[in-house]
Structure 1
Amino acid sequence: MNKQKLPFWRTPSGWSAIGLIAAASYFLFVEHGEHVFPYLPYLILLLCPVMHIFMHGSHGKGHETHTNDEQTFKEQTEDNDQYRQGYIEGLEQARKERRKTESDNAR
């Protein structure tokens, strides 16, 4: 027997959430419609990033088994000497530029 976990919206808590959202939406649009409708285009645009954040939550769950073959950042940089050399050179260059701008600002 294959037991699958129900999505949130099909649980009793999900149905309650749907009911509360529906009731709040009804009163928002019926009682306060003239305050809400001018801002509706902005609310729809605001909904896009919110949906993007919440809809990415289910990507890849339960479809793959992950192995612990991934290296830590430290191991990756130790394995890649060129990366480490470039990183150090970039830090030194940034420090030199910062010192130069600080000395120019002090004048």
Structure 2
Amino acid sequence: MGIIDKLNKDFESRVRLGIMSVLMVNDWIDFTEMKSLLNITDGNLASHSSALEKSGYIEVKKEFVGKKPKTSYRVTNIGRTAFISHFNSLEKLIKSK
């Protein structure tokens, strides 16, 4: 198995890479802040975060603050491990000759 085979297909999208990168350095982050940081549309964030949640990489919390819905995200332990492994494989690929 080559280095490239160790890359995680779930993180191939630039949006998913962005979501995971933001969550690796933040505890919880809300929908509006994530959308702003990544400069993406509501639909893009919703679909990619849903896919990451389905894979068990992130946790999504939906609640009401007053009468307004609030969606927040955080990385799971599984997600943290998978993303670190993906990142390490990328690093090996970059350093390979």
Give TM-score scaled by structure 1 length: 0.23
Determine which structure has the larger strand proportion and give its number: 2
Give TM-score scaled by structure 2 length: 0.25
1 or 2 for the larger relative contact order (CA 8 Å, sep ≥6)? 2
- Please say which structure displays the higher CA radius of gyration: 1
Determine which structure has the larger helix proportion and give its number: 1
